[in-house]
Structure 1
């Protein structure tokens, strides 16, 4: 099959980019013809290694050049970039004649379903249904995001198939007959699970508002008072790094919390940790939890929309915490820090439950979906 993925760029070290690389590499190894079309790559190398047979094409739209503009200037520029984007993507797809074209719910979502290149159009989303309403924007931006959230439902209905990551999120897309759940696959499957003896907790994610690391740093102040010999490693990058460093300094936690740049060998870091923490305000299906579980780490996470509920079974492989309840978060984390036997029990269950997100199992679902679309089947 000729398969096209359309995304803003592959240069980021985010979960969506990692998932795309994993899926594209898997399909390319099977002999399918893969193309990744981007809008804002600007000749940057992909952050995650791609199979040499995968073709990469950038349309040069550069939406991110408008970051920081006021709402009215940004809306005018966006309309122009959308027109150029549509023209260039349409021309490329008409020439390529792909079988399947997948939008990752990016800037192409408003028009890709209308392109008449003969391909089946699939839409996949890596965040929750109400992600735009969780940005914490005010004024006109809040009105715009509320309107766009309402439009998302109408747009998703127009695609041949719409894929969400969790059963929780499926319930929020009511009335869509073309909607199906296919979760992310875990990135790796270590030959053995983590020993869970190091007094180290790990958190992974972009340093931005979504990941809620401001709350996690505050929580660690409470944890440190009760479990002073434990350390927290946070891996990521992003615009809030300086704010996080300032908060760590203000709370006097420089010796207890370390910020690290993303690393290629993140599996080794998980294997040297004993507890995974996630403080996100919203998610899709967090790779950080899937990867931690694959390594046999117990997890403590806010029960945000969406994803943690599909991974963590409370009391078995970790704990789910009501959003914003920092005291309970600290208490549950400390319970695991103070009880190695409990950590081991939960880690073993996590290791066993990781099989549900095995790459072979997940990719079989994608291939079956593509084959059904090629045959003209809707479901």
Structure 2
């Protein structure tokens, strides 16, 4: 593209933005009072598998008991959802890629999603147009985004009468620098930014303070809820350690296999089973074979029934290099299985109470991981005590508890938009919701830590987004 073409494109883009702002000013003047009954959740690919999808389905099912809930999947590359769709929840697909003919616009990359966004390769010019058209068509309700690319588009194009929420399923530090820059520059247009952990909440607070730009009306922390899985509680009798997750570099299975070589030397009758699919399967199998662990470590492929897998284990191990808030820790705890985890950024340190319901190991330390695993192998009483405590930790994060916090947060955003005085839903924590959170023992110093950080100004007007549209 020549310099002249680029100048023409920039002028055309600015003209479109000005037209949208003018239209939004008209819409803001005639818009009805904000309403929270309709909830739409933007998800990259609802028919795939992964922690974010499972978490979204879990939350959507709870909210659907009292709201009109629809999951809006940007793409569709699988005929049916991998996870059961909760009762009362609908799924809408914007870019159905099952037909062979994709269309001309699918050949061009996205112009709205940053190239450094981890899921950039999923987005095209076609998804850009589909997303903008859908978002602009909304007339009421709440729109929740679940990854940076979706949150940035919603911040830029959501009409003034729509309440928008940017949900962080990873953590701010895991995004590339240019993505973080876009986040701190654009997320201030959202009504709320919701993180999973305290550490990430603080990271967002510091980032907005450093940027000295617009902040979202509300910064909040709402952890993931414990999924309700089939099967019973583990008897902790099998000589089996399991881990579940995508076979990617970030999950650190290469480190875990190296650690297991030391475990196998001390306890050759125990086995490690790794459940999940992904691009590093061949490399991991080569590492297993190289260390003579082919009868001790097994790559099992994706787990069709995670509950049954965990109920048949005596220990769960997380070896990730980085996380958001790993759902699988809660899933293991819900089966009474103690956890051994690297204390990686972020999540595990807030989910596992070291010595209470699991053991935390300094991130990346192979011998320390092996020693922690052996500690639980060799001390059955300790393993059973931690398993019993893990059950209690999981129960404190049941979907009814976490769902109530989401209900409170969303009701508070509606109240704020309507200009209700302080003392509404955002002025308090739900009773018991934060008293004993994930990984916290009753009475611990962190038990009553801040869960919602509010911008100390008046409620944002519906038209506030207009002057900040880039």
TM-score category, normalised to shorter length = 0.7 to 0.9
Identify if the C-alpha distance between structure 1 residues 67 and 359 changes in structure 2 by more than 3 Å, giving closer, same or farther: farther
Q: Is the 8 A contact 1:11 1:47 kept in 2?
A: yes
Residues 1:306 and 2:342 aligned together = no
For 1:110, what is the secondary structure of its paired residue?
Answer: helix
Residue 12 of structure 1 is matched in structure 2 by 48
Alignment CA distance shift 1:45-1:217 (3 Å): same
- Supply the distance in 1 between the matched residues of 2:344 and 2:79 (Cα, whole angstroms): 33
* Partner in structure 1 of residue 57 of structure 2: 21
Candidates 396, 414, 424, aligned match of 1:374: 414
Equivalent-residue separation in structure 2 for 1:156 and 1:9 (angstroms): 22
Deviation of 1:4 after TM superposition, in Å, equals 0.7
In the alignment, structure 1 residue 111 sits paired with structure 2 residue 153: yes
How many angstroms does 1:149 deviate by? Answer: 2.3
Mark the CA change 1:306 to 1:67 in structure 2 (over 3 Å): closer, same or farther.
Answer: farther
Quick check: 1:339 aligned with 2:370?
Answer: no
Q: Is the 8 A contact 2:77 2:96 kept in 1?
A: no
Distance 1:308 1:109 in 2: 25
1:106-158 deviations in Å (ceiling 9; x for gaps) = 422222123243210000011111113xxxxxxxxxxxx22222332233322
Give the drift of 1:96.
Answer: 4.3
Determine helix, strand or coil for the equivalent of 2:233. coil
Equivalent residue for 1:320? 360
Q: Contact 1:82/1:107 (CA < 8 Å) preserved in 2?
A: no
Distance in 2 of aligned mates of 1:212 and 1:249:
17
2: CA distance, partners of 1:40 / 1:156: 23
Single out whichever of 38-47 and 196-205 deviates more from structure 2.
38-47
Instruction: Give the SS at the match of 1:202.
Output: strand
SS where residue 340 of structure 2 aligns?
strand
1:347 and 1:123 map into 2 onto residues whose CA distance is: 34
- Structure 2 counterpart of 1:268, from 308, 316, 326: 308
TM value normalised by structure 1:
0.87
Distance 1:42 1:257, change over 3 A: same
Which structure's CA Rg is the greater one? 2
> With structure 2 as the length reference, what TM-score do the two structures score?
0.71
Please state how far the C-alpha of 1:263 moved relative to its aligned partner: 2.8
1:4 and 1:98 in contact (8 A); partners too? no
Shift of 1:40: 2.3
Which residue number in structure 1 is paired with residue 68 of structure 2? 33
In structure 2, the gaps of 5 or more residues are 1-36, 110-114, 210-214, 418-425, 427-453, 455-470
Are the counterparts in 2 of residues 157 and 178 from structure 1 also a CA contact under 8 Å? no
Displacement of 1:84 = 4.5
Query: Which structure 2 residues correspond to residues 192-211 of structure 1 after superposition, within 5 A?
Result: 193-211=233-251
Matched, 1:2 2:38: yes
| Alpha-carbon distance in structure 1 between the residues aligned to 2:87 and 2:399 | 20
| Deviates most, 105-114 or 188-197 | 188-197
Which residue is equivalent to 2:179?
148
2:167 is matched with 124
CA contact (8 A) 1:185 1:359 kept: yes
What are the Cα deviations for residues 179-219 of structure 1, in whole angstroms up to 9, with x where unaligned? Answer: 11100001126786321111100101001111111111111
Q: What stretches of structure 1 move > 6 A for 4+ residues in a row?
A: 65-68
Give the C-alpha shift of residue 227 in structure 1.
Answer: 1.1
Work out the number of aligned pairs and report it. 358
Unaligned 5+ segments in structure 1 are 69-73, 133-144
Structure 2 distance, partners of 1:3, 1:347, is 37
The answer to whether the 8 A contact 2:325-2:347 is kept is: yes
